[in-house]
Amino acid sequence: MNHVKSLGEFIVEKQEDFKYAKGELSRLLSAIGLAARVVNREVNKAGLMEDILGDAGAENVQGEAQKKLDVYANDEFIRALKDRGEVCGLASEENEGVIEFKSGYAVDGQYVVAIDPLDGSSNIDVNVSIGTIFSIYRRTSKSGPATFDDFMQKGTEQVAAGYIIYGSSTMLVYTTGNGVNGFTLDPSIGAFFLSHPDMKIPEDGKIYSINEGNYVHFPEGVKKYIKYCQVEDAATNRPYTSRYIGSAVADLHRNLIKGGIYIYPTTTSSPNGKLRLLYEANPFAFIIEQAGGLATDGFRRILEVQPTSLHQRTPLFIGSKNMVEKAMSFMEEFSPQEA
Ligand code: AHG
Ligand code: MN
Ligand code: MN
């Protein structure tokens, strides 16, 4: 059998490509890999554990009910990144403000991490794929715990981003700006191994992913694009197939491999969209662009949006290049943006 590269070996081998302090980012990525394995262990036995399934009894900053696993995953990722010396603070979906690392080596950490510790909360209790999404930046402040401004950087400034999908197998997919690589967890060994080197998203696809239940609340351009997807046309392979899991990580991962478009547009009840810029849209955008696809809010490139708050929302049109361009042309024609 050929030697299969472990995540640890791969990170060390590739660290020469990193722009900045090489060992630091390597250690940070390894810490994320470790936390992912711990969370994976709990996800896998969730049905057996009363303290894992169900509501935590609190709401997060978005006013959404927290699941026990949301809280557990959040604690694990914070714990894994704290006091290692690489990260001086986090922004998490589950915490209103910046999580400042105030003691030990952490205050000298050169990186900040934005994280959605558990993506797809509504799928936890029903054994459907869920995920974790992370985005890593160099700090802009000089020293001390992370500041709000450290997180107000455009997505173009990300030094690394990735996701973990807890699916029929568990995978970690990440980029440091030199392509996208996917690693599959071998649970018998407890290590990730390179299974999907240099991932590329097909330029065209046949899958569209959108919560069509919100149809009446969509902008006209999105309604028209959905109808376009459903029209019979042999030359362009239509009608397309509709696939929507409701865990963005899982929908994105499938589309990355097979080709497709994922849209979470504005709706009348969510005029800014639902997904969060810092720890959902930006890391996804970095990965999909690195894989050859596109990520926009329907009009502009996601990675160039200037953040102004930690939990800012954005519409998201992401996936295969030709499909996103087509959807954007419908937006321009039927739902032009107000100046
Ligand atoms: P989270 O579980 O982190 O709050 O994210 C859920 C997000 C995303 O993963 C998913 O695609 C989308 O919300 C589903 O929203 P709808 O139920 O409105 O379709
Ligand atoms: Mn999410
Ligand atoms: Mn979440």
Q: Which residue has the tokens 């978005």?
A: 62
Task: Identify the domain containing residue 11 by its residue range.
Answer: 7-196
Q: What per-residue confidence (pLDDT) applies to 46?
A: 67
**CA gyration radius for the chain?**
19
- This prediction has a pTM of 0.96
Give the CB-side neighbour count of residue 101, counting CA atoms within 13 A: 26
Q: State the total domains in the chain.
A: 2
- Residues 17, 119: one domain? yes
Q: What per-residue confidence (pLDDT) applies to 168?
A: 94
| 339 occurs within a structural domain | no
Taking the centre of ligand 3 as the mean of its atom positions, its distance from the CA of residue 48, in whole angstroms, is 22
Q: What per-residue confidence (pLDDT) applies to 184?
A: 98
Q: What per-residue confidence (pLDDT) applies to 83?
A: 74
| 256 occurs within a structural domain | yes
Contact 259, 207 (CB under 8 A): yes
Structure tokens at 211: 């919560």
Sign (positive/negative) of CA torsion 279, 280, 284, 286? negative
Smallest Cα–Cα separation from 34: which of 251, 259, 262, 192? Answer: 192
Q: What per-residue confidence (pLDDT) applies to 188?
A: 94
- Residues 106, 225: one domain? no
| 201 occurs within a structural domain | no
Q: Which residue's alpha carbon is at the smallest distance from atom 1 of ligand 1?
A: 119
Q: What per-residue confidence (pLDDT) applies to 20?
A: 64
Mutate to test the pocket of ligand 1, among 264, 268, 316 (most ligand atoms within 8 A of CB): 264
Final residue of a structural domain among 133, 165, 196: 196
The CATH number assigned to the domain holding 313 equals: 3.40.190.80
Give residues with Cβ within 8 angstroms of 251, minimum separation 6. 209, 243, 244, 245, 262
Q: Which residue's alpha carbon is at the smallest distance from atom 12 of ligand 1?
A: 246
Q: Which residue's alpha carbon is at the smallest distance from atom 14 of ligand 1?
A: 246
| 25 occurs within a structural domain | yes
Taking the centre of ligand 3 as the mean of its atom positions, its distance from the CA of residue 189, in whole angstroms, is 28
Atom of ligand 1 nearest to the CA of 274: 13
Tell me the C-alpha to C-alpha distance, in Å, between residue 83 and each of 12, 90, 314: 21, 12, 32
- Residues 123, 221: one domain? no
Q: What is the mean pLDDT of each run of 10 residues along the chain (339 residues)?
A: 87 79 85 95 78 74 78 95 91 97 85 98 93 98 96 98 97 97 96 97 98 97 98 97 98 98 96 98 99 98 98 98 98 91
- Residues 38, 131: one domain? yes
The CATH number assigned to the domain holding 155 equals: 3.30.540.10
| 16 occurs within a structural domain | yes
CA 80: distance to chain centroid?
19
| 36 occurs within a structural domain | yes
| 202 occurs within a structural domain | no
Can you tell me the distance from the alpha carbon of 310 to that of 94, in angstroms, rounded to the nearest whole number? 11
Final residue of a structural domain among 166, 196, 226: 196
Taking the centre of ligand 1 as the mean of its atom positions, its distance from the CA of residue 264, in whole angstroms, is 9
- Residues 233, 183: one domain? no
- Residues 91, 237: one domain? no
Smallest Cα–Cα separation from 54: which of 42, 69, 76? Answer: 69
- Residues 111, 134: one domain? yes
Give the CB-side neighbour count of residue 197, counting CA atoms within 13 A: 7
Can you tell me the distance from the alpha carbon of 24 to that of 239, in angstroms, rounded to the nearest whole number? 48
- Residues 225, 179: one domain? no
> Which DSSP letter does residue 32 get?
H
Q: What per-residue confidence (pLDDT) applies to 229?
A: 98
- What type of residue sits at position 21? A
- Residues 180, 234: one domain? no
Taking the centre of ligand 1 as the mean of its atom positions, its distance from the CA of residue 60, in whole angstroms, is 14
Q: Which tens digit of pLDDT belongs to each residue from 6-45? A: 999 999 888 877 666 678 889 999 999 999 999 999 998 8
Mutate to test the pocket of ligand 1, among 61, 119, 132, 255 (most ligand atoms within 8 A of CB): 119
Give residues with Cβ within 8 angstroms of 263, minimum separation 6. 208, 209, 210, 222, 225, 316, 317, 318, 327
Q: Which residues line ligand 1 (CB under 6 A)?
A: 64, 93, 116, 119-122, 211, 246-248, 274
- Residues 179, 244: one domain? no
- Residues 248, 175: one domain? no
Can you tell me the distance from the alpha carbon of 98 to that of 6, in angstroms, rounded to the nearest whole number? 33
Taking the centre of ligand 3 as the mean of its atom positions, its distance from the CA of residue 242, in whole angstroms, is 23
| 2 occurs within a structural domain | no
Taking the centre of ligand 1 as the mean of its atom positions, its distance from the CA of residue 175, in whole angstroms, is 23
Final residue of a structural domain among 142, 173, 196: 196
> Which ligand has the minimum distance to the alpha carbon of residue 262?
1
- Residues 183, 236: one domain? no
Tell me the C-alpha to C-alpha distance, in Å, between residue 125 and each of 5, 45, 56, 69, 170: 34, 11, 12, 10, 17
Burial of 13 (0-12, 13-18, 19+ CB in 10 A): exposed
